[in-house]
Structure 1
Amino acid sequence: MRNKFDMQLDSLKEQLTNMGELCEVAITKATEAILEGKEEQAREVILADEEIDQAEKDIERLCLKLLLQQQPVAKDLRQISAALKMITDMERIGDQASDIAEILLSTDLKMEMNNKDIGVMAQAAAKMVRESVRAYVEQNMMLAKKVMTADDEVDRLFDKIRQEIIEYIAKENGDGGEDAVDLIMVAKYLERIGDHATNIAEWVEFSVTGNHRIATEVHERKSAGEVK
């Protein structure tokens, strides 16, 4: 019975890895589509979002099967519960990559501003997604903490891009305002992807230790009398 459970757990990890790879490719392709004006590639990202949605359903089905049929205990139960939470974040990452692609298809984006930092931000966010899923597969707390720390860099890049856009609009006396709004939306979607990757890393921490960062913080605040 245990051998069958271990095989199914390995299958869960493999499916999570594949879903993470789909998300990573979607982020990269969506950003390239925006920066290089590749409309066909943008359409591919939107179609790929359906594949990510299907992956979420498949993994959810496997998790429920493991919960109902195998009656996992302790650490196994945490791994399955964490996976159910992780796929919600990955599905949203797919949505946000699709939203980035939609910007290109629904606007006349010219990308006349310096957009080097957008590419750097996209690479950083995609790496966070890849490493957060790998941290789960390997049950690697050091890698999970590295992902959490990396979110600070993604946030810093968002702030930098936002300031660059403000300066661009001021310099151009308001010209290019629509493009500036579209670009800030791209950066905001990437910033949110970083947040979702951080969420995944926090669920890795739960699967390894049994503690979840948010729940722990709330408990500490209650103990201190800050939360009723």
Structure 2
Amino acid sequence: MGEYSARVGWDLDFRQLDAGKLRAQAGVMVSSDLIGIRVRFNRGFHQIGQSPSGFWTFGLPDPRCGDFSWCGARVEGGDVLNFNLESGFEGVSKAGFSGYTLSFTDRFLRHAARLLGCDPDVLRYTSGSSAWSGRRASTAELRGRLGTTYRALRSIRGHLAGSRGDAWRIEIAAGLFELIAGEAYEAEPGRYPLRQAAVRRAIELIRDDQRLPMGVAELCAEVGVSSPT
């Protein structure tokens, strides 16, 4: 586990809680400004640490994980976990834990907020919550999109680069903003209505398309705007 932690840039202390051989799986989805990791452990763990420096990191445990402890609170699979507290994070998970972590650069998340027309200070919602719950349909939709991309990348042994990665990152950021800011994100008036409408149309198009994310030029053509917009 120490070798894995170093490879993905995390400062982690993992302690296995139950006896038996460990079987762990980790798959990485890499795009500029975003690292997505799919994890699965057959054993329970007590973990303490810090997420990668320079990133905003969030976790999406699978619903089948049931309830577990996260930063002193009881959470459930299907919630969204906050890895960004100043004190770091601490979790106690049961055997069979699985889910995703998403690590975004600060620069990209603020750029995405402007592009989507929402509050550029949306990240303030991370300061007081160890987890977010209650929006299970939106969380399931985001997890489903991550799963589709992860399976597609595994089948072609590819990576999310260039304009294809750009479109995917914006879509994932939009889903995340909705989850952590809730109604405040949905009600935020856009300062750039044409751009915001185009981005949201593009996101809906991506969600309806089962292929790997389209490139930016292709998306712009589909929604009827120029690339600069």
Relative contact order, CA 8 A, sep 6+: which one is greater? 1
Provide TM-score, normalisation by structure 1: 0.31
Higher relative strand content: 2
More helix by share: 1
Give the structure with higher Rg (CA).
1
TM-score (norm 2): 0.31
